[in-house]
Structure 1
C-alpha cells in the first residue's frame, strides 16, 4: 500500500486539506448570534463590485415572504434562542413586497431587526415610509438600519454605485435620521485610505447630515474588508489561529446562518455565510437544526473577509 498523499489540485477545493496537504481550518457552531435572511438578489442598482452580484436583473435568489420567515422564528423559539439579532440583506431588502411585514414578524417576537439598505428609492416610497413609522411607534429600539455608503465623498461613492447614487442615498439617510430611527453606516476599504483617514471623512459627513453616529464606534460605522473574485489569499489551516492570534469562535459562521430561496427551488435553504449564497458546498439543509454543524473554511472569502480581514456582517 502506498503512503503517497493525493493533494487537491486547486486551492480551497478540498474541505479537509489545503493544496499543500495541511489540515484545513474549520469552525464549530456555537449557537445563534445573528440569523440572516437574504430577501432576494434583485436590486435597484448594480454596484461595480457587489459581493453577491446583486442587480436589477439578478433573481437567482427570489423574494422572501412572511411565510418563508416564520418557520425559522419558530425554530429559534424551540431552541430557546430569544432576543436574537435578525439581519436582512439582499439585493435591496425594501424591494421585497413583504419586507415591512417580515420586520414586524421579527420584532413582535422580541428579536432585533438589522436591515441593510442603500436608502434609495425603494426605502423612500410613501407606503414603506408610513409602514415603518407605524412600526417605530411600538418597536423603535428593536429596529436598526445600516445604510451602505461606500465612501464619504460623493465622487467615490458614485464610482462604485453609479451617478446620482450618493444624492439619492443622502435623502434616505436624512429621512431616517430626522425620523429618529436607529441608524448605522457601512463603508468599504477599497480606496487605499487608512482607517483614521476614512473615519475622519465619515465624521464630517455624519456631522453635516446630523446622523448622530459615533464614527469611532466600529459597530456603528463598519468599514468592510474589500474582496474581489480575482483575489488569491492564503488558505487557512488549524495552525493559523495561533499564528494570527485569532479564534475560530470569533468567525461569523460560528454563530450565524443565512436563509435563502433559490429561483425555482420552491423552498428555502440555510447557508453558512452571507457572502457565499451560491456555492452549494456551503448549503447546510433546509432547517436551522440541520444547519448546526461545523463549516470548513474552503472559500477565498473565508480568508479575505473573515479571518485575515477581521470582517463580520453582524452588529
Structure 2
C-alpha cells in the first residue's frame, strides 16, 4: 500500500494575497468570533522526533516557538475568568507538549478553574516521563475532564513509521495502552488521506488496532478518532468568498476561528501573542494581539489552510 498521493496542481500565486478580496476580485469571507470556547496553548515547537510532513516543522532543534510558562498561561486563564469568557476547554499542542516541564502545572491550573483540558501528544518517552504527575491529576480531578489525544498517523505500523520514524508506532501504541490501563480518557488523531484506502477502511483498520490492544476508543466516532485532511499550502485550493457560505450550505460559526484562539510565544519575544488558530503559527497576518480581548476581532480566510482544512475539509482541532 502506498502512502503517496497523486500529484496535485500547484497553488496559483495570485491567490490568498489580499485579506479583503480574492484573486478574482470577489469579497473574501471573514469569520467573526461568536464566542471563545476553546483556547489553545502552544507549549513550544520542540519535539522528540522529526516527522516528514509536520505542518509546524517541529523537531528536536526547532525552537521558533519558545516554551510558555505556567505563569504566562495563568494570565490568560485570569482574563477568561475576569471577562467571563465562555471557554469550555483549554488544549495544549506543540511540538510535543510534554517536553515542557511546566505542562503538569498548567494542566492543574486549567482543571482547578473548572475547564476541560486536552493534550495532543505522541505518547512517547516525554509523556511517560510525566507519568506520576498525570496519575496525580487523574486522582485529584477524575478521569473525565482531561483528554489525551494520541497521534497515530495510520493503523499500519510501517506507514506510521515511514512518516514519523522507525519504531515510533510501537512506542506510541505502548503509551496509548498505558493511558488506557490507567483509566485516562483517550482519543486518537490520524490522517484521512494517508494510505489512500478511504475513510471507512481507515476507521476499520484503527478499530482492529484498538480492539487488539484494549484501547477504549470508538473508531466510528469522528471526535474520538479524528482523521485530519492533509495540509499542503502549496497545493491549489479555491478561495472562500462570502457567497461560498450559501453555496456550500455552511455557517461561518462552523469554522474553527469562530470559537478558538491560540497562544504562542515566539523565540526572543518579551510576551506571548494570540493567533487566530492552531494551523498558522508562523504567519504574522494571523497574529491578533497580546490579549484575548485584542484577539476577538474577525479573521479573514486568507490562507490555503482556511479553505482546505476548515471550510472544505470540515475539520477542527477540538469538538
Alignment match, 2:222? 218
Alignment match, 2:245? 241
Contact kept? 1:9, 1:19, Cα under 8 Å: no
Alignment match, 1:131? 133
- Mapped to 2, the partners of 1:200 and 1:266 lie a distance apart of 48
Alignment match, 2:3? none
Alignment match, 2:234? 230
Alignment match, 2:154? 151
Alignment match, 1:161? 164
- Mapped to 2, the partners of 1:272 and 1:71 lie a distance apart of 18
Alignment match, 1:104? 108
Match of 1:173 among 173, 176, 180: 176
| 1:277 is aligned to 2:281 | yes
Report the Cα offset of residue 193 of structure 1: 2.0
Match of 1:52 among 56, 71, 75: 56
Alignment match, 1:291? 295
Contact kept? 2:31, 2:258, Cα under 8 Å: yes
SS of 2:261's equivalent? strand
- TM-score w.r.t. the length of structure 2 is 0.94
Paired residues, number: 306
Per-residue CA deviation, residues 94-130 of structure 1 (Å, 9 max, x unaligned), is 00010111100100100010000000010111xx101
Per-residue CA deviation, residues 227-283 of structure 1 (Å, 9 max, x unaligned), is 113211111001111111111100000000000000000200000010101100000
- TM-score w.r.t. the length of structure 1 is 0.95
How has the CA–CA distance of structure 1 residues 9 and 206 changed in structure 2, closer, same or farther, with 3 Å as cutoff?
A: closer
Alignment match, 1:184? 187
| 1:204 is aligned to 2:208 | yes
- After the TM superposition, which parts of structure 1 deviate over 2 Å for at least 4 consecutive aligned residues? none
Structure 2 unaligned segments of length 5 or more: list them. 1-11
Structure 1 unaligned segments of length 5 or more: list them. 1-7
Contact kept? 1:186, 1:222, Cα under 8 Å: yes
Contact kept? 1:70, 1:105, Cα under 8 Å: yes
Report the Cα offset of residue 82 of structure 1: 5.3
Contact kept? 1:144, 1:182, Cα under 8 Å: yes
